[in-house]
Amino acid sequence: MKNTYTKKEMVGYLVGLAGQNILYNIIATGLAFYFQSVIFLPAIACSLIFALARVWDAINDPIMGTIVDKTKTKWGKCKPYLLFVPAVILVTTIIPFFNGMYAEPNDMHEVTLQDTSKYTAFVDSDLTKELEYEGETYYIVPANNTWELERDANGTPVTDKDGNTVKTPIMIYKGDQHSPVEDKTIAETVLQEFQNEYGFEKVTGTKAVLIIAWAAFSYVLWGMTYTIGDIPLWGVTSLMTEDQNDRAKILTLARAVANVGMIGTLFTMIAPSFQGMYKARGMDEAHSLRMAYITLAIIMTVFATILFQFAGFSVKERVKSDNTKKYTVKENFKIMFGNQPFRQILISGILRSPIQLLGVVAMTLVMYYFFNNNIGGTLFVDGALNITLILQVLVVVLGLFGGMIFFPLYTPKLITKFEKKKLYNFFSLIGAIPFAGIFIFFMISGGNVLTWPGMIVMAIMFFLAGASMGSLNVLQSVMIADCVDYEEYNTGVRPDGVFFSGQSFITKLSAGIASLISGAVYAIVGFSDKNVALLNNSLVNGADFKTYNDGKFAAAMFFLISIPPAIGMILSAIPTLRYKLTDKEHTRILDELIERRGDIAEGEQLAAAQESDESDTDESDASAQLEAKEENT
């Protein structure tokens, strides 16, 4: 009879894994967008925060792996963490969203044109703003001699009968003669430019430092607590079964379900739907959006944590090894890098880091390029659903998710027919082609792929890229589990926690490197802090993201999800071209390990039986001595 998991255990584990990956994607994609496009942190600050956090993980992950391997309880070494850590991660996932805004909106973004018949003679004052536009100088003056919004006795902005905030009226004058601008079209254009330039102000001094410091601290804290749950969650897969086919099956399903957890990326798109209830309370556009994200972060995190908890309740550790010798953190580092096949997988995963840009940039690209950062206004045109856009976006989404989720389900069948090393290198090299094709097609299309032929081509390339990524993720997990067997065979120690901390390390270091790349590119094109706030303001006022800033922002985002990932895929095949652990060798090793474990179990049973016999003999001797004593008496 196989010593392996039950169907109930497998389902519970996969449900928990789905919840854990929803939590990961809330942070990995949602928080990145929130930091840069909702509270307007500088792009370089965001990239440094994510990158430095990953440097810490380089130290923290192996430490946690060592702690897991030293853990010994009645449940095993991984299950205790899966029982008690989810509640902690719930808290640390929410707190990064409770932060201030780096660029604050001022009352000027609420201005509106005054009726020209009510213009007064121009009077220059400290309130007057000058604006250069297309070679002309314009002067913008508040009609009520204040830029402040009118407020009621409670300090709430006054609203009209429809519940809309009453804006501050302005007057616009032109040139040296300060003549009123009577052409409404010109006045509205100047007004939009004025709002874009003066609508937001960056915070400075101590407040700015505290905002960035809290962003860094809360994100690092999340990373540490997430690691405490992530390493045992993946490490337990090699302890749930001795059968390598069942192990490949659960790791394949785990990788597929992990991709299902990408519904957490929808966090970015869903959050704005909560904005209306805060606007109704008098909040402006920027602050109401911030509160909408905080609200959804709480709701989705609680839901995902409940799912995560199922893993702790369900899993059972079935594989036992003679793991009496314990290693220090320093020794475990030596084991990790001394195990040649594991070292090859680790280096390969790090070189493939740029593929994480797909997660870092994707939702920002979707929100801006496809929805102009205004989902409601884009999906509804003249009160009717924009069916064409919905179907076009759906085609691309199905292409990507179809490739990442469903194609990898065939990987176990491929493993039975082909060498793992050959499959790994094939998907690494072939996956570079569709990734590169994404940016090439974007440039060929002139920056506009929002056509049916364009979206179909994009869907095909995303499917092929996603299929390669998903298959590599499955192969990476299976090959790491093989490396654990390899280490146990050679040293007698089974370092599940330490080796699967390597997988966690690869994921998080990759995200850090991807963040550095995206931060550098965003800084070059100017997609950062106040400029993002002004971009949002322009889009509210009718600008088109695809042509904004001569299309540089859009081109930068398509570049990031295409060219660096393509380069990373090619580089990742280099360390594994001569991968040491062949499938034939691993099968031999695993067969011998199972035989060893059987001998150990048989020896333990024999020792227990001998101990029981000796105990019975001692009891018989004691009884005989007592009877003899009684007879003599």
SS (H, E, C) 549-568: HHHHHHHHHHHHCCHHHHHH
593 within domain boundaries: no
The phi and psi torsions of 131 (rounded to 5 degrees) equal -140, 125
Q: Which domain holds residue 190?
A: 107-198
The amino acid sitting at 555 is A
Report residue 159: phi and psi, to 5°: -120, 160
Residue 138 DSSP code? E
Among 137, 170, 198, the domain boundary falls at 198
- Residues of the chain short of pLDDT 70, as ranges, are 1, 58, 107, 109, 321-329, 599-633
Question: Residue 147: its pLDDT value, please?
Answer: 85
Contact 462, 434 (CB under 8 A): yes
Identify the burial level of 613 via C-beta atoms within 10 angstroms of its C-beta, where 0-12 means exposed, 13-18 middle and 19 or more buried. Answer: exposed
Question: CA–CA separation, 307 vs 12, rounded Å?
Answer: 9
Place of tokens 């967008």: 33
Q: Report helix, strand and coil shares of the chain as percent, to nearest 5.
A: 70, 5, 20
| Residue at 460 is within a domain | yes
Do both 267 and 389 map to the same domain?
A: yes
Instruction: Give the integer Cα–Cα distance in Å for 174 and 195.
Output: 17
187 and 258: one domain?
no
Please answer whether residues 227 and 504 qualify as being in contact, where contact means their C-beta atoms are separated by less than 8 angstroms.
Answer: yes
Quick one: tokens of 487?
């280490």
Residue listed under structure tokens 């085609």: 395
Closest CA to 26 of 372, 267, 202: 267
Same domain, 74 and 140: no
Pair 224, 174 in one domain: no
Structure tokens at 115: 């009726």
CATH of the domain at 96: 1.20.1250.20
Closest to 556 in 3D by CA, of 463, 443, 461, 464 = 443
In-domain check, residue 626: no
Strands 179-180, 384-385: parallel, antiparallel or unpaired by DSSP? unpaired
What lies within 8 Å, CB to CB, of 541 at 6+ separation is 192, 195, 196
Same domain, 413 and 509: yes
88 in the same domain as 55: yes
Q: For position 321, what pLDDT does the model report?
A: 56
- Spatial separation of the C-alpha atoms in residues 354 and 560, rounded to whole Å: 9
Whether residues 433 and 450 share a domain: the answer is: yes
Structure tokens, 623: 């009884």
- First and final CA of the chain: distance in angstroms? 58
CB 405 within 8 A of CB 464: no
Instruction: Give CA–CA dist 568/429, Å, rounded.
Output: 10
Q: Are strands 169-174 and 112-113 parallel, antiparallel or unpaired?
A: parallel
Q: What is the dihedral of CA 547, 549, 554, 555, to 10 degrees?
A: 110
Closest CA relative to residue 241, chosen from 231, 232, 251: 251
| 8 Å CB contact between 465 and 563 | no
One domain, residues 246 and 138: no
For residue 171, what is the enclosing H or E element?
strand 169-174
What is the number of other CB atoms lying within 10 angstroms of the CB of residue 208?
A: 18
Tell whether 185 and 217 lie within a shared domain: no
CA gap 243, 324 in Å, rounded: 23
Contact 586, 482 (CB under 8 A): yes
Structural domain contains residue 358: yes
In terms of domains, do 457 and 562 share one?
A: yes
**Is there a contact between 470 and 255 (Cβ–Cβ < 8 Å)?**
yes
pLDDT at 479: 92
101 and 111 co-located in one domain: no
* CA proximity to 109, closest of 321, 269, 288, 276: 288
The set of residues, in sequence order, having a beta carbon less than 8 Å from that of 217 and lying 6+ positions away, is: none
CA R_g for the chain = 31
Task: Estimate to the nearest angstrom the gap between the alpha carbon of 6 and the chain centroid.
Answer: 31
Distance (Å, whole) CA 45 – CA 601: 55
Asked if residue 210 is part of any domain, the answer here is yes
DSSP 366-401: IIIIITTT-HHHHHEETTEE-HHHHHHHHHHHHHHH
* H/E stretch holding 630: helix 583-632
Residue 391, C-beta contacts closer than 8 angstroms, at least 6 positions apart: none
Given 198, 216, 241, the domain boundary residue is 198
Residues 154 and 96 in one domain: no
**Residue 98 pLDDT:** 96
Type of residue at 450: L
Is residue 282 domain-resident? Answer: yes
C-alpha distances (whole Å) from 294 to each of 281, 297, 510 are: 16, 5, 26
The answer to whether residue 281 sits within a structural domain is yes
Indicate the pTM of the whole model.
Answer: 0.72
Q: Which residues face 174 on adjacent strands?
A: 138, 179
| 616 in any annotated domain | no
Q: Which residue has the tokens 């990788």?
A: 255
The total of structural domains in the chain comes to 2
CA 91, CA 297: separation in Å to the nearest integer?
A: 11
| Last residue within a domain, chosen from 581, 600, 616 | 581
